[in-house]
Structure 1
Amino acid sequence: MNENKKPTLEICLTPDAVSFIDLTGKIAVIVDIFRATSCMVAGLASGVTHVVPVASVEDALSYKSEGYVTAGERNGEKVEGFDIGNSPFEHMEQEFKKIVMTTTNGTQAIEAVKNTAEQVVIAAFLNLKAVTSYLKSQNKDVVIVCAGWKSRFNAEDSLFAGALALKLKGDFWWEGDEILFSTHSYSSVKNNLSKILKHSSHYKRLKEHGVENDMDFCLEIDKFKNVPILKGNILENLAK
């Protein structure tokens, strides 16, 4: 906690930047808008009881014998042999209760922080208000970790980080130029977010797979009220 008695807020624009931050006692907020964290939020808001995020395809397949639905992608495409891919609409199927998930970026970002952060929270535009309220209630230092694309910066995660930072303004002490960049960027495009992001590299990459409806859905703001939190190795909704 800083000398101003407010908790601090920092942004990592890529998962690799986490290595420069001490996460001890801090909340790590993972964001992968297109599409991992959006899938997690949507699924857990729609009847899924818990999600196990893992780093590798092999780890995911090991859960099948325990009745888990295997979900995820590599390079934007569904993993061969998995039950479902990385579309939020698939994750909202009511018959799914337990999902094990691995993705190119989002689950890797969770791996990068889960052993050092005090808490791991999953965020998306879909639950922006709910995550904002939760973080304000905790009075703990927060680090927003953008999943990016294969350890590189991407637009949608960084813009979300700016949106969340603006929601938290006044309750947290901002640290780092990443917040300055992200908040100004979001403020300048928030009224045309979908239009702007259609020019982003990841949108174009996923458009080749015909999932424009996924991306439009992922940019809906405050559709859900749940806050997924990692407990051990399992993501569950914050208890009401």
Structure 2
Amino acid sequence: MKHIEVCLTPALLPLYDLKGSVVVVIDIFRATSSISYGIDNGADAIIPVASVEECLSYQGNGYLLGAERNGEVVNGFDFGNSPFSYTRELVEGKTLVLTTTNGTHAINVSKNADEIVIGSFLNLSAVCEYLVKQNKNIFLLCSGWKNKVNLEDTLFAGAVVNKLKDKFDALCDSSVLAEDLYLAAQSDLHEYMKKTSHSERLKKLGIEKDIAFCLNVDLIHSVPVIKEGKIVKSE
């Protein structure tokens, strides 16, 4: 039987071997939620880049450029990683270039994986169904906050473990921890997420609506994957 592992922060990634695994990158507040929503709303592709400078290098070539640091849109960019910047009216038929504090970092350090999938509560069931079809080991990478563990990404990892543990061996203690946390929170995710440090950061920025939106479960059915350095809708 294939196995499932949880990595609670990219800082721990050197301890793991990603070969032979499908990596699910998780950044609930807000990068992977926004990416999933944008791909579902018809964006042709989203190019994840590591730095603001690299993002700027795409300027003037017909791309939409987004940059976020510390929860805020970087000066000079039209958008960051709020899901409300990824509506169909704004992104359909377009290619976006995006850099964020945590999510795009996690994507970029996962490049040795067989495949990279973008996960969020918005597409939880679709991601789980996709993973079962791939029939490979699963590696759930929580983006965390600046390489530190966070609750929201761990909760999502626990939700995936809970859905798939009958089909995959959950071999690591972090999988058990993540599932136990999810089981404690699942009856009211919105209430539990009030405990998270990042939700407090976003509230101070006046964007509580982003938090609420990112906790919608199974709002969409698309599964974004990485193909040749670009995030696209899986076939």
Q: 1:119 aligns with which of 108, 115, 120?
A: 115
Q: 2:77 aligns with which of 75, 82, 89?
A: 82
Q: 1:93 Cα shift?
A: 4.4
- Is contact 1:165-1:179 (8 Å) kept? yes
Note the residue ranges of structure 2 that are not aligned, 5 or more in a row: none
**TM-score, normalised relative to structure 1:** 0.95
How many percent of aligned residue pairs carry the same amino acid? 44
Runs in 1 of length 4+ with deviation above 3 angstroms? Answer: none
> In the TM superposition, what are the counterparts of 1:35-184 in structure 2 within 5 Å?
35-96=30-91, 97-114=94-111, 116-184=112-180
1:217 aligns with 2:213: yes
Q: Deviations over 1:198-237 (max 9, x none)?
A: 1210000111111110110000000000000000110000
Q: How many angstroms apart in 1 are the aligned matches of 2:76 and 2:218?
A: 33
SS at match of 1:70: strand
Q: How many angstroms apart in 1 are the aligned matches of 2:137 and 2:60?
A: 39
- Is contact 2:9-2:141 (8 Å) kept? yes
Amino acid of the residue matched to residue 159 of structure 2? Answer: A
Q: 1:7 aligns with which of 2, 6, 10?
A: 2
Report the aligned-residue RMSD. Answer: 0.8
Q: Deviations over 1:123-163 (max 9, x none)?
A: 00000000000000011011000000000000000000000
Amino acid of the residue matched to residue 169 of structure 1? Answer: K
1:200 aligns with 2:205: no
Q: How many angstroms apart in 1 are the aligned matches of 2:96 and 2:11?
A: 26
Q: Deviations over 1:84-135 (max 9, x none)?
A: 1211011114242111000000000001111x10100000000000000000
Q: Deviations over 1:150-208 (max 9, x none)?
A: 00000000000000111111110111100111101100111121111112100001111
Report how many aligned residue pairs link the two structures.
233
- Is contact 2:158-2:182 (8 Å) kept? yes
- Is contact 1:48-1:92 (8 Å) kept? no
Of 94-103 and 131-140, the range deviating more from structure 2: 94-103
Q: How many angstroms apart in 1 are the aligned matches of 2:219 and 2:61?
A: 31
**TM-score, normalised relative to structure 2:** 0.97
Amino acid of the residue matched to residue 129 of structure 2? Answer: S
Of 147-156 and 61-70, the range deviating more from structure 2: 61-70
